[in-house]
């Protein structure tokens, strides 16, 4: 075991604090029985700071910290485009998508699809998301989290995954989304400060204890190729990040799908006290995303000089943790586990929401609220068990799990983005067109991967998205259908935003221009 006694004490204090906060915020008046709104949407009570913190805590987990550090080790700063462009995407989601979702008073993304199209579209997408959350997202968080726990404690991978699953259940199963969101505040504080300490110590180690700036300059001097944001075609990793496509191509489909239409992310905003609180939370999360490369990418780049002979890039972050001094090692380990647990809790709660509201409630309507909450809790446990059993077989052989996750989800995201955007902003879009977009995304992606294998996956995502839009529009026009009965009335939606939100939007854009100008 590489954790000293002080490190273990710090970690135990974190776990006790986490459980205390979770049970404190989950307590109810004895006369109140939790209903589905309480359990799945926190009773629509979340303030902006809880929404923003929870968005980041749900997003940043093992596949982000370990996976993006691994990609930083292999590729360099270019992988930070996923973080920086996400900040801009969040602001667009807050301004143009959230007003529509909150006006519809929905629990889930499939519920919106039923309102807008029909039950076929709802069920198809609900089953798809359930499969992805269990077999891709949950497995990735458990597997990469177990790698970190194994590196720090020596526990075998299966034991590490089991402990992570048990800890997440211990604080989230009873309280639902409210417990998850409020404990995420502690998780984000640990994540940010632990990550900054990691980057600080790694750079100072490179400089031989002569300072962070000296270490950063030395890193720039000895590994300049790791600081290219826009990769050229001769770069060995161009296929992962194909040049300008990270600014104007397929990454937009990836980001809009993740931040705008992904249940376990958007669920926090759906639980807001009001649209204004949700938008403030979105803006807070956007600024935190701008900070994330310092926490999740820079350590991986630094490891190029500190640990040049790693067998796999994804070992960069766990191995760096073993080099940290006593005390700080415990803090950084607690930050990593915090990120893992928050994502596990978020995913299992969203799986419970999707299964209960979009599958079970359709098969068993008119049951009691208590019954549906119980079903949600059971489905959370079942999802974790399935993920525990399948994590190693699915992910054990990959060097860069983050890139695997992006490419796999890229088969589906173009069609999802197209069907949502057309459904929200074009009244005539039909249910058949939505299904054509969803199914066509997978078929076209597989065809391009098979017959054009050298095409970078991000470019493939962009091309498939455009083709899905063409097919969906053509399907609608051929049907000669009038405006759909469930069409969104844009005239009834207020897209105006506060001065504070508009200022935050402008600042995000300015910061991105500066970043890409420097690291082009």
pLDDT for 153: 79
Q: What mean pLDDT do residues 293-308 have?
A: 91
pLDDT for 396: 65
pLDDT for 403: 60
Q: Distance (Å, rounded) from C-alpha 206 to C-alpha 216? A: 8
Band of the pLDDT at 253, cuts 50, 70, 90?
Answer: very high
pLDDT tens for 36-55 read: 787 777 777 889 999 998 89
pLDDT for 339: 78
Instruction: Quote the percentage of the chain above a pLDDT of 70.
Output: 95
Residue 30: pLDDT above 70?
no
User: By C-alpha distance, which of 92, 35, 2, 75 is closest to 505?
Assistant: 92
Q: Distance (Å, rounded) from C-alpha 373 to C-alpha 38? A: 9
Geometric angle at alpha carbon 109, from 505 and 185, rounded to 5°: 55
pLDDT tens for 216-237 read: 999 999 988 899 888 888 888 8
Please give the full DSSP string across 44-60, using - where no structure is assigned.
G-B-HHHHHHHHHHHHS
Band of the pLDDT at 302, cuts 50, 70, 90?
Answer: very high
User: By C-alpha distance, which of 459, 414, 406, 457 is closest to 439?
Assistant: 414
User: By C-alpha distance, which of 172, 185, 43, 175 is closest to 107?
Assistant: 43
Q: At 209, phi and psi to the nearest 5?
A: 65, 30
pLDDT tens for 145-196 read: 887 788 777 888 889 899 998 888 877 776 777 777 888 788 788 888 888 8
Band of the pLDDT at 332, cuts 50, 70, 90?
Answer: confident
DSSP code of residue 325 = P
Helix (H, G, I), strand (E, B) or coil at 492: helix
pLDDT tens for 60-118 read: 876 678 778 888 999 999 989 989 999 999 999 999 999 999 988 888 899 999 988 88
pLDDT tens for 440-495 read: 999 999 999 999 998 988 899 999 999 999 999 999 999 887 777 777 887 888 88
Band of the pLDDT at 342, cuts 50, 70, 90?
Answer: confident
Which residues have CB under 8 Å from 388's CB, separation 6+? Answer: 142, 161, 162, 165
Using N-to-C axis directions, what is the helix angle for 251-261 and 457-479, rounded to 10°? Answer: 70
pLDDT for 399: 56
Band of the pLDDT at 512, cuts 50, 70, 90?
Answer: very high
Domains, the chain, ordered by start: 5-25+55-409+489-519 (1.20.1730.10)
Q: Exposed, middle or buried: residue 456 (CB in 10 Å: 0-12, 13-18, 19+)?
A: buried
Contact 327, 10 (CB under 8 A): yes
pLDDT for 346: 83
Q: Distance (Å, rounded) from C-alpha 437 to C-alpha 412? A: 9
DSSP code of residue 481 = -
Q: Distance (Å, rounded) from C-alpha 422 to C-alpha 438? A: 12
Residue 328: pLDDT above 60?
yes
User: By C-alpha distance, which of 9, 346, 299 is closest to 148?
Assistant: 299
- Which segment of 1-10, 124-133, 163-172, 389-398 scores lowest on mean pLDDT? 389-398
pLDDT for 33: 63
pLDDT tens for 407-439 read: 777 888 999 999 999 999 998 899 999 999 999
Give the chain's mean pLDDT. 86
pLDDT for 62: 64
pLDDT for 34: 66
pLDDT for 497: 92
Q: Distance (Å, rounded) from C-alpha 312 to C-alpha 304? A: 12
Regarding predicted confidence, which is higher, 140 or 290?
A: 290
pLDDT for 298: 93
User: By C-alpha distance, which of 124, 192, 158, 138 is closest to 412?
Assistant: 124
pLDDT for 206: 93
Q: At 211, phi and psi to the nearest 5?
A: 125, 155
């Amino acid at each position: 075991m590489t954790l000293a006694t002080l490190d273990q004490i710090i970690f135990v204090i974190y776990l006790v604090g986490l459980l205390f906060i979770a049970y404190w915020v989950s307590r109810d008046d004895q006369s109140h029985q939790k209903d589905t709104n309480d359990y799945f949407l926190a009773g629509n009570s979340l303030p902006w700071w809880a929404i923003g913190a929870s968005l980041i805590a749900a997003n940043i987990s093992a596949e982000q910290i370990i996976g993006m550090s691994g990609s930083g080790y292999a590729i360099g700063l270019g992988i930070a485009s996923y973080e920086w462009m996400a900040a801009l995407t969040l602001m667009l989601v807050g301004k143009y998508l959230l007003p529509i979702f909150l006006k519809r008073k929905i629990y889930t993304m499939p519920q919106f699809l039923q309102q807008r199209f029909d039950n076929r579209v709802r069920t198809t997408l609900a089953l798809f998301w359930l499969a992805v959350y269990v077999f891709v997202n949950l497995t990735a968080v458990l597997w990469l989290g177990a790698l970190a726990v194994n590196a720090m404690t020596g526990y075998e991978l299966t034991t590490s995954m089991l402990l992570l699953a048990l800890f997440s259940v211990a604080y989230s199963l009873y309280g639902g989304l409210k417990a998850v969101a409020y404990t995420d505040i502690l998780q984000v504080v640990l994540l940010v400060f632990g990550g900054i300490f990691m980057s600080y110590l790694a750079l100072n180690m490179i400089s031989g204890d002569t300072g962070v700036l000296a270490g950063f300059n030395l890193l720039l001097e000895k590994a300049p190729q790791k600081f290219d944001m826009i990769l050229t075609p001769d770069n060995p990793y161009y296929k992962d990040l194909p040049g300008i496509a990270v600014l104007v191509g397929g990454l937009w489909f990836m980001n809009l799908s993740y931040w705008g239409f992904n249940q376990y992310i958007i669920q926090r905003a759906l639980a807001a006290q009001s649209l204004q609180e949700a938008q403030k939370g979105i803006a807070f999360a956007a600024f935190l995303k701008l900070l994330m490369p310092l926490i999740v990418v820079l350590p991986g780049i630094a490891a190029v000089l500190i640990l040049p002979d790693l067998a796999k890039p994804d070992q960069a972050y766990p191995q760096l943790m073993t080099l940290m001094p006593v005390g700080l090692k415990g803090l950084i380990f607690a930050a990593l586990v915090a990120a893992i647990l928050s994502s596990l809790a978020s995913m299992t709660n969203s799986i419970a929401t999707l299964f209960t509201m979009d599958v079970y409630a359709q098969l068993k309507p008119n049951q009691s609220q208590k019954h549906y909450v119980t079903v949600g809790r059971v489905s959370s446990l079942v999802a974790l068990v399935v993920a525990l059993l399948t994590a190693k077989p699915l992910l054990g052989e990959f060097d860069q799990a983050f890139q695997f996750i992006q490419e796999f989800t890229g088969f589906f995201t173009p069609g999802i983005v197209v069907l949502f955007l057309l459904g929200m902003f074009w009244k005539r879009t039909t249910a058949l067109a939505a299904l054509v977009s969803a199914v066509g995304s997978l078929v076209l992606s597989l065809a391009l991967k098979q017959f054009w294998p050298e095409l970078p996956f991000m470019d493939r995502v962009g091309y498939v998205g455009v083709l899905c839009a063409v097919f969906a529009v053509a399907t609608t026009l051929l049907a000669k259908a009038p405006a759909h009965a469930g069409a969104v009335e844009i005239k009834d939606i207020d897209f105006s935003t506060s001065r504070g939100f508009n200022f935050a939007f402008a600042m995000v854009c300015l910061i991105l221009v500066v970043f890409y100008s420097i690291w082009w």
